[in-house]
A and B are shown apart, each in its own frame.
Chain A
């Protein structure tokens, strides 16, 4: 049994079908890149796992237990962390309050210890706990969005477009952080990205999604060196 199993998941917004039956397995402590162009259905897939998108067909299971019908806050409680596309930190709250909002499912007694662990990954956040999140730079906001989701001690971490709109040096730094966090927490990660080559370097396995379907899947190394894949899906 895999940590996460998606079986034939169809996300439907009214008459718009965002995914046409996604099936995917994620094992413990594994990073999977979900790559594809804009509108391919990456965000919808992550939202289906979180219970944020209407699932018309198919099922999502965590540890073999169905997540269908749960509210997003209950999915978090089961051990899934979510860093949304566009960061969406709470702009009018301080850095520290943003981190607190990520810890509502954590027993209170564990908050301080967890905060120190998360601060250790992100020393720049530790330096400015009182600053309003809205006044942080784009890269800092992305780090805060990741840190906020980590506060709940997830086992599965869904990361939606963490490289979007950031300068190359920052993207590289975020990549290093994702790897470091993944290793030291033993996290399973799904990294949804348009920046396919970057995401594939961070992930052991890659699934290429297009038109709401997973078109091919395999070890990232293999796909990266496959000329047909590069031409058809990676735009190189």
Chain B
């Protein structure tokens, strides 16, 4: 801990930082554990919880100047790319400028949303106490306002990760993503809808963040919905003005207006498809569990960790891939420790994986093409009504532990959920 004493009388003060959520018991256990963890005793789970807490404590104790320099470097690179991309689009009449500008802007937008925006909004960099890189002040290059997203994402999704009936989603009414969801004729459109959702992903998220479902059920007041709509309208207008009016407008001066418009649209679409794919990899590949409310009743700190680990899937790959996915390629680690700085997930993963192995828990991971492929396979498969006999499981993702106990497999409907 850093000394923050400023005066003699406060010497020997005791400050102890605890994660805000969830405040769970250290000991005990739920009446039923998820099947994949059923072989663990209460004492095992308690020890596992302590081991993971220790991993977290160690990272927190070693956060420092190097990490701060990392996020500042990423931000500087991102802003430089963004500036260069837009400037190049001013001359996009020339083919080379069009491709270079669009590519730079796409990468900038991906970095901005994934490694910077998502993680800053998670409070991963709050410890620096820099008001410019802080979850309470950050706004991102995405149509949904940061505040709305923080609520549905940080509060709802991360707390109720993959708990049926609690972790709700926009795809509920449009996509069929779960064997549990009764098949309806329009589900035949599953692939078509998802194909449209991908390039317009930011709009899907924006609609999701309005919480229309909650409003219909009377959990969100009409007043609040109006406020959300107003905030979204304002943000969306500014976003659209930037990419579809101001940038092409400036480019028109150089006779490149139309090409610049195509460039910004393409950059947004590329970013959207990328984000959509990464998010799909986080919770859709086979091997990811969902849970019942019964299973989280009496959940201890260790059980909470187990749920996060069973409910998420990683993507294996290079350092560059980790950066471009905003380190959501370390989805498991991110779900266990949502507020650790993203550049440290890489080293956390080594320990979490080792712990999973030791406790006989599955650790789902795989290369991106395969994880994306599995998710899309599910979109196609669930478009059709269930066959009575089929054990609805296609290519199981490889897990660290080979055999797993058989268990009921629920799937959450979760189409447009940022992880």
A binds B: no
